[in-house]
Chain A
Amino acid sequence: MSNQVALTGNEVMAQAMRQINPDVVAAYPITPQTAMVQLFSQFVADGKVDTEYVTVESEHSAMSATVGASAAGSRAMTATAANGLALMWEVLYIASGTRLPIVMPVVNRALSGPINIHCDHSDAMGARDSGWIQFFAENGQEAYDNAIQAVRISEHEDVRLPSIVNLDGFIISHAVENLEILADEDVEEFVGDYQADNYLLNSEDPIAVGPLDLQDFYFEHKMQQAVAASNVKDVVLEVAKEYEEISGREYGLFEEYKLDDAEVAVVALGSTTGTAKAAVDNLREQGVKAGLLKIRLYRPFPAEEIANALKDLDAVAILDRADTFSTTGGPVYIDTRAALYDSDADLEVVNYVYGLGGRDIKVEEIESVFEDLQQIAETGNVEQKINYLGVRE
């Protein structure tokens, strides 16, 4: 059973947290995540959850307390955005390295400086090699569904890694959508009880967490982490199948939108994929074989599957809502090109960095990308591999 509701992205994520009913939430407010933790603290104040809500004095302490709570053996969550995520950076690695299955919504916002409160993915991309699983969502519905599935994925015995559930700042977090939330009891049953294997609050078997791990074992622990990361894809698909049974909504590692017979396509993540779908539809009406690959699971990167899905195209554009300032393109571009290197694909891959600091991306702009792709497909000639879309000269 599920309910039709009209909620903002922040509100629906707070609902997801209420339904997950974590033992501990330690969070610090930051725009554009604020409404999420405000609403959740109201649930705490009204006794709607069993959660101990720790009103920490910074995001660094938010992640630190969440690590403590998770290591103690409880189910623990937090949520943040932008500079808050950056402040957590040190502890992100400790959470994943200690194999703590924390779930954290991140409301994507540009990193300073200069300071900016609007959407881009520079925050999430800064954490892309931190060992956290990362999901992206097109809309509030997907963010909600990802959050609930992330609990099961993170806690899976083959994984035991933390998850970031991304949702675009303002565009998703503050926009009201019609969406479906599951019945409370369905979520309760789906996520189940969390039982850590080894945990601090066990006087029978006390443990030590976070020791000094030198040359003789650190590498082995990192190898375990690498193996866990390689297990994620299968677990994501397994959990998605189960989730479909209770929700009726289907999820994979990514979504292929009109990609089957496409000749040109864009790859994107986040809310822009909705805009890209409109562009694809328009172009299809004009007889252009356009398509979209929308990445859901960004970390670990499903390289082989993505390369497989793209390899028959003539040209593909990777849309990046963040730059790496490496002069080698945006992060998704770098990942995707690397993935295609090992496939037998023969296609041109170009990059468009767009939407930084919340700059709007319009359907027409994505259509212009498709025009470029068609030209590349026809001539085989790429004028510029890395492009900046929607910026003034």
Chain B
Amino acid sequence: MKLKEAAKKEERLTGGHRLCSGCGAGTVVRLVMRASDNPAVVGCSTGCLEVSTTIYPYTAWEDSFIHNAFENVAATISGVESAYRSLRNQGKMDEDFDFIAIGGDGGSYDIGFQSLSGAMERGHDMVYLCYDNGAYMNTGIQRSSATPKGANTTTSPAGEVIPGKQQYRKELTDIMAAHNIPYVAQASPFKPQDLMKKAKKAFETEGPAFLNVLAPCPRGWRSKAEEGIELTKIAADTCFWPLFEVENGEWKLNYNPKAKKPITDWLEPQGRFKHLFKPENEGLIEEIQEHVDERWETILHRCGEE
């Protein structure tokens, strides 16, 4: 769908929410919701998006919305969707609804991981959207299992002895693909049409669909607000955040950079990686580059692009 055409549809997330200036979550959610053709029930795990969009007595959602707790948005939407199926089967309602559960990386990779896995396994007809900004940004930039190796966060600080986060990030998209659900995709807002297309597929999928979308966080990434979208392009060009989808078990690459860029292009503009450029951490950047390269090879192999 052309952006011009997409813009003709109703806005589902209004202005007046209180996400930070330049927050990628707002962009991601607007684009994803645009792909829904039905009234929706939106669930949100506790996090930036939730606290910013529904500060009583205001809601920025044009659709019905539910926030329950941090770790249970997938279970909560499971319940809503089950109610819908029950009421429809009993002939108590006949309207079509879309169901979407949204979590940050904390609510999806970590504390909400079990709830997410359970909901996907049970096969609820719902979309799960993870907006991954790579840390617990809402509580002040603590590390999550989505935080990239080397990142300076408030619980993985770059110190005299330890240079930021010690572990590589968890590949949640792969884990969701391993659930053998009908549709899994990794996307990025710098390609809005690709994101909307994936969201549309996700909404149209019968059964569970999972979207993992990189969302820039100027506060946590220590980057310039205006550069957020550009950074998500650099993430794809350096192969840090590949764009792919897994449709009924078939892997497909959606973006292959013409010239793969060095990982330093991704690290340098972000203050959270600043310490990596000290002479003593040189080896670490090499290590990260190797890891990205290996990961990229795996993705290419799975997508039959070798």
Q: Using A71-B66, A206-B61 as known contacts, say yes or no to A61 and B86 having CB atoms under 8 A apart.
A: no
Determine the chain A residues whose CB is within 8 A of the CB of B121 once the complex forms: 57
Indicate if A73 sits at the interface (CB-CB under 8 A).
Answer: yes
| Cβ A60 vs Cβ B82 within 8 A | no
| Cβ A68 vs Cβ B80 within 8 A | yes
| Cβ A72 vs Cβ B80 within 8 A | yes
Interface residue stretch chosen among B110-118, B129-137, B285-293:
B110-118
The CA-CA distance from A62 to B79 in the complex, in Å, is 9
Determine the chain B residues whose CB is within 8 A of the CB of A200 once the complex forms: 41, 64-66, 80
Indicate if B83 sits at the interface (CB-CB under 8 A).
Answer: yes
| Cβ A52 vs Cβ B83 within 8 A | yes
Chain A contact patch, size range: 35 or more
The CA-CA distance from A64 to B83 in the complex, in Å, is 13
B60 to chain A, nearest CB (A): 9
CB under 8 Å from chain B, chain A span 221-252: none
Indicate if B284 sits at the interface (CB-CB under 8 A).
Answer: no
| Cβ B69 vs Cβ A94 within 8 A | yes
The CA-CA distance from A69 to B76 in the complex, in Å, is 8
Partner pick for A203 among B69, B97, B115, CB 8 A cutoff: B97
Bitwise, A199-231 to B at CB < 8 A (1) or not (0) is: 011110011111111101100000000000000
| Cβ A26 vs Cβ B82 within 8 A | yes
Q: Using A51-B86, A69-B83 as known contacts, say yes or no to A64 and B75 having CB atoms under 8 A apart.
A: yes
Indicate if B51 sits at the interface (CB-CB under 8 A).
Answer: yes
Total A-B residue contacts, Cβ distance less than 8 Å: 164
Indicate if B71 sits at the interface (CB-CB under 8 A).
Answer: yes
| Cβ A23 vs Cβ B65 within 8 A | no
Interface residue stretch chosen among B88-96, B171-179, B180-188, B269-277:
B88-96
| Cβ A24 vs Cβ B83 within 8 A | yes
Q: Using A68-B66, A208-B64, A212-B55 as known contacts, say yes or no to A52 and B85 having CB atoms under 8 A apart.
A: yes
The CA-CA distance from A94 to B68 in the complex, in Å, is 7
The CA-CA distance from A67 to B69 in the complex, in Å, is 11
| Cβ B114 vs Cβ A201 within 8 A | no
Q: Using A23-B86, A68-B80, A69-B80 as known contacts, say yes or no to A57 and B59 having CB atoms under 8 A apart.
A: no
CB under 8 Å from chain B, chain A span 39-56: 50-52, 54-56
| Cβ B67 vs Cβ A50 within 8 A | no
Indicate if A346 sits at the interface (CB-CB under 8 A).
Answer: no
B135 to chain A, nearest CB (A): 20
| Cβ B71 vs Cβ A68 within 8 A | no
| Cβ A68 vs Cβ B67 within 8 A | no
Partner pick for A211 among B56, B83, B95, CB 8 A cutoff: B56
| Cβ B72 vs Cβ A64 within 8 A | yes
The CA-CA distance from A50 to B83 in the complex, in Å, is 11
The CA-CA distance from A307 to B115 in the complex, in Å, is 45
The CA-CA distance from A61 to B112 in the complex, in Å, is 10
Q: Which residue of A lies closest to B85 (CB)?
A: A52
| Cβ A208 vs Cβ B59 within 8 A | yes
Determine the chain B residues whose CB is within 8 A of the CB of A23 once the complex forms: 83, 86-87, 90
Indicate if B16 sits at the interface (CB-CB under 8 A).
Answer: no
The CA-CA distance from A207 to B39 in the complex, in Å, is 12
| Cβ B54 vs Cβ A208 within 8 A | yes
Q: Which of A26, A64, A91 has the most CB of B within 10 A?
A: A64
| Cβ A66 vs Cβ B41 within 8 A | no
**A52-B85, A65-B78 known, 20 other contacts, Cβ within 8 Å:** A23-B86, A23-B87, A26-B75, A26-B79, A50-B89, A52-B82, A57-B118, A60-B75, A61-B114, A61-B115, A64-B72, A69-B80, A91-B69, A200-B64, A200-B66, A201-B84, A201-B95, A208-B61, A208-B64, A213-B56
19 A-B residue pairs with Cβ-Cβ distance under 8 Å, sorted by A, are A50-B89, A57-B117, A57-B121, A61-B118, A64-B79, A66-B79, A67-B79, A68-B76, A68-B80, A68-B83, A69-B83, A74-B87, A200-B64, A200-B65, A206-B64, A207-B65, A208-B64, A210-B66, A216-B56
